[in-house]
Structure 1
Amino acid sequence: MWNPSKKIRTIASKILIILFSMTMIFHIFALLEVIPFQYLWGGRLSSLKEMYVMESVSLLVNAFFLCVSCLYIKYLNQSLVPLWIRIVFGFVGIIFLLNTVGNLVAATDLETLLATPITAILSVICFSLVPKYEN
């Protein structure tokens, strides 16, 4: 079984921290209506109210993933990443994989072209953090 080194896992975790932070900024811009809601969620949102609900949930979920990514680095430095964190990354990897498929069939080109590669990369990175780390 593939078992990435501590260095690869640290780099992967830092990439996740950067991407989750950038995603949170994007969702904040959406909530502030800097980005029109027609370009969000595959172009399938029908109202501002719906956008506020979906973007608020997205912001909270991304904040949780950001915290878990930070915890991963902390525990990796102690050479023992708890099982629950690895399960979260497995779940997140599946979510991003499904999201990649959803982005491919999005109604807006922006989401297809911009979000598809990002979610695909996030999925691969999350799956690389799932195996148990052994020195």
Structure 2
Amino acid sequence: MWNPSKKTRTIASKILIVLFSITMIFHGVALLQLIPYQYLWGGRLSSVEEMYVMETVSLVVNAFFLWACIRYIRYINQGLVPIWIRLVFGFIGIIFLLNTIGNLVAITNLETLLATPVTAFLSVICFSLVPKYEN
């Protein structure tokens, strides 16, 4: 079974920190209505109110993902990554895998072309943090 090194895991965590931070900025911009809601959520939103709910949930979820990445780096620097944090990344990886499938059937081409590779990449990175690691 593939067992990434500490360096690989640290780089993966840092990539996730950057991407989740950028994603949080994107959702913040969406909440400020600088992006028309018709372009968000695969073009399936029907109102501004619905956009506020969905984007707020996205912001909170991404904040949790960011927190998990920071915790992962702290644990890996201590030499042992507990099972609960590895399960969190397995769960996050599954979410991104499902999101990738959702992006493939999005109404907007922009989401299909832009978001699909990003979520697939995020899924792979998250799954790389799941295998047991002990220093």
Regarding TM over 0.5, the answer is yes
Compute the displacement of 1:66 (Å). Answer: 0.1
What amino acid maps onto 1:118 in structure 2?
Answer: V
What is the CA–CA distance in structure 2 between the aligned matches of 1:110 and 1:45, rounded to whole Å?
15
What amino acid maps onto 1:18 in structure 2?
Answer: V
Q: Does residue 1:6 correspond to 2:6, yes or no?
A: yes
Alignment of 1:1-135 (within 5 A): 1-135=1-135
8 Å Cα contact 2:81-2:134 kept in structure 1: no
What is the CA–CA distance in structure 1 between the aligned matches of 2:115 and 2:85, rounded to whole Å?
25
What amino acid maps onto 2:15 in structure 1?
Answer: I
Q: Secondary structure at the match of 2:93?
A: helix
Compute the displacement of 1:134 (Å). Answer: 2.8
Give per-residue Cα distances to partners, 1:69-123, cap 9 Å, x unaligned: 0000000000111111100000000000010010011000111111111100000
8 Å Cα contact 2:43-2:106 kept in structure 1: yes
What amino acid maps onto 2:46 in structure 1?
Answer: S
Give runs of ≥4 in structure 1 deviating > 2 Å: none
The gaps in structure 1 that reach 5 residues or longer are none
What is the CA–CA distance in structure 2 between the aligned matches of 1:75 and 1:134, rounded to whole Å?
10
What amino acid maps onto 2:124 in structure 1?
Answer: V
What amino acid maps onto 2:25 in structure 1?
Answer: I
What is the CA–CA distance in structure 2 between the aligned matches of 1:52 and 1:6, rounded to whole Å?
39
Q: Secondary structure at the match of 2:95?
A: helix
- What TM-score, normalized to structure 2? 0.98
Aligned residues: 135
